[in-house]
Amino acid sequence: MGSSGSKSRKTKKKPQHLAKVGSSANNHTSIHAERKGAVDAMGLSGLSKGARTTIITVVALLFIAGVFAFTFVRFV
């Protein structure tokens, strides 16, 4: 019987080592993971980059138009 450290891996691949904390590679990986998580939370993960950009642009323009209307248009 071997210890758990000597058991063979199912995929036979070497483990991917993580970059040191605080390095630029680690920061890039962290930022990428956060952005992916935010897009997944909005439900836009399956869309292409162009479609995602279009939807975000339209939502931003509607928000700006709403703020403008609320601020500068007087209600009668």
The answer to whether position 48 is within a domain reads yes
Contacts of 74 (CB under 8 A, 6+ apart): none
The string of pLDDT tens digits covering residues 44-56 is 778 888 988 899 9
Helix runs in 1-76, H state only: 24-42, 49-72
Domain with 37 in it: 21-72
Could you give the CA distance from residue 60 to residue 63 in angstroms, rounded to a whole number?
5
Is 7 among the domain residues? no
11 in a domain, yes or no?
no
Residue 64 banded pLDDT, cuts 50, 70, 90: very high
Number of structural domains (the chain) is: 1
Q: Is there a domain that residue 39 lies in?
A: yes
| Predicted local confidence at residue 61, as pLDDT | 98
> Which residues have CB under 8 Å from 18's CB, separation 6+?
26, 29
**Is 1 inside any structural domain?**
no
